[in-house]
Structure 1
């Protein structure tokens, strides 16, 4: 199995690093949502989780997905090969279908009780910013390997596209998790095509119907297609997190790591109430 990917490591990773620095600086100067916890404390927690989880992406997911793509190409297996598309068509269609498969994976993370145990570690963060973009339990990253590798093979994605897509995927994940306040009219235009910070902020709300929306990663139109798009909540009204996990003392790296193996709590606040919101605006209207 191929492990070394020079273009990814020496070009893609530095570009992702540069983008992360830009997002970090901008979100520090132009904050979208008010923080509820110490930024330093959360950085310690989230980087600790990421330090365990990210190697699984680089040394397991990426090699397995690349191998699946290579084997599919050698055997002329997969939708893109059966459709006999030209090379440029395979790359465009492959990119779109990869992104659609990750929309479906994100939905599955929320609908499967087993997978949610791991994905919940990402969602119980009580603030949302750049560091949340890499706060994924290592178990979730490992679980994604068979799904994403199978998707790559069934689609028939060219192997180089796997690496290119992953760079864009990670960059967009960092972008829409960031706490950057973009000019409103710019973001309203962008969210017609790609996922933006305001759009994804709604996905991290403690209101269940808002958390169960806006699953897209790069292109926002998958949510439009499946009617899971919600853009009607102003950012000042959003409370980030999961209602049953509101104690900062539960956010230590050890407790985050062991949380999936413990009984999961019902979707309600510590006082027993279930967070709800009356709809004030059309569902597909992006609000400030």
Structure 2
């Protein structure tokens, strides 16, 4: 067990950097959109967030999700530890339940204004590329770990299922946030099963009705089944505006300013079913230019 726990970070980092290298190269060879902000500036600050989050989670939760699963399994806690199911079925159920939990958590972070304040740092990226998939506020990362830990304990997720899920989650987050061009026919088939970059990019549109769609990270079926699927952005993938209306100045891409974003300005224009009085469900508001809308809230 100790050996496995020692090697687990190595395995996960190997997959992380392997997928990152592949997607970064793909972005250079076949980009989907032209970037609006210098890549060196954005990447330096986005990686600053990644390093901050990694240090925090390892300090506060040194064993991580896999270590927790080991403990849960040793104690015999959780539904899957009680049910006499074939091991492969327990692993499959755990993977599906964990993925749904991440989807539901994502919706919750859009629906509750206080949680949206944390999550909107992810959406405030003015471009959409592989590093966007790693850009989350440290407080959101800690809350997310707590939610995931609760699910692991409740269902008694097998250790191998948690390890596989952690690898899939980080790998697909890099894939579906990448600025890569995939042939339309291939994308059309893939999105029936997994979240593709074109599928998820809609979620990063600055229109609230598009931001509040396509919540999936791994499996695409949750959005289809639960009515939050939107096939394409209304302005097209090349013409759509990435980001949110509040943080349009590139200076908000700086690490120190990203960390304080949850405490800046109102949080009333994007949370699900929460709009200022009289505002319609489109963005920018009628009669207001996109440039003006980007600086008024």
Given the two structures, how large is their TM-score scaled by the length of structure 2? 0.85
Other-structure match for 2:136? 136
Give the structure 1 partner of residue 32 of structure 2.
Answer: 32
Separation in structure 2 between the aligned mates of residue 193 and residue 58 of structure 1, nearest angstrom: 32
Range with bigger deviation, 71-80 or 218-227: 71-80
Compared with structure 1, are the counterparts of its residues 119 and 228 closer, same or farther at alpha carbon in structure 2 (3 Å cutoff)?
Answer: same
1:216–1:222 Cα contact (<8 Å) kept: yes
Residue 184 of structure 1 and its aligned partner are, at CA, apart by 1.3
Matching residue of 1:267: 269
| Structure 2: stretches of 5+ with no match in the other structure | 271-278, 286-297
Cα distance in 2 for residues equivalent to 1:74 and 1:34: 51
Q: In the TM superposition, what is the alpha-carbon distance from 1:3 to its structure 2 partner?
A: 10
Partner residue, 1:255: 257
The reply to whether residue 41 of structure 1 matches residue 49 of structure 2 is no
Match of 1:220 in 2: 220
Provide the C-alpha distance between the structure 2 equivalents of 1:89 and 1:276, rounded to a whole number of angstroms: 48
Shift, 1:161, TM fit = 2.0
Structure 2 matches for 1:17-96, cutoff 5 A? 17-58=17-58, 60=60, 63-96=63-96
Equivalenced residues, count:
274
Q: Is the 8 A contact 2:210 2:230 kept in 1?
A: yes
1:212 and 1:78 map into 2 onto residues whose CA distance is: 32
Which shifted more, 39-48 or 124-133?
39-48
Distance 2:257 2:227 in 1: 35
- For the pair 1:165 / 2:165, whether they are aligned, the reply is yes
Counterparts in 2 of 1:92 and 1:136: CA distance versus 1, 3 Å: same
Q: What CA distance in whole angstroms lies between the structure 2 residues aligned with 1:133 and 1:176? A: 8
Secondary structure of the 1:28 match is helix
Runs in 1 of length 4+ with deviation above 6 angstroms?
1-4
Give the distance between the partners of 2:229 and 2:5, measured in 1 at CA.
Answer: 36
Q: By how many angstroms is 1:265 displaced?
A: 4.9
Unpaired runs of at least 5, structure 1: 278-288
Aligned Cα RMSD in Å? 2.4
SS at match of 1:128: coil
Relative distance call for 1:21 and 1:225 in structure 2 (3 A) is: same
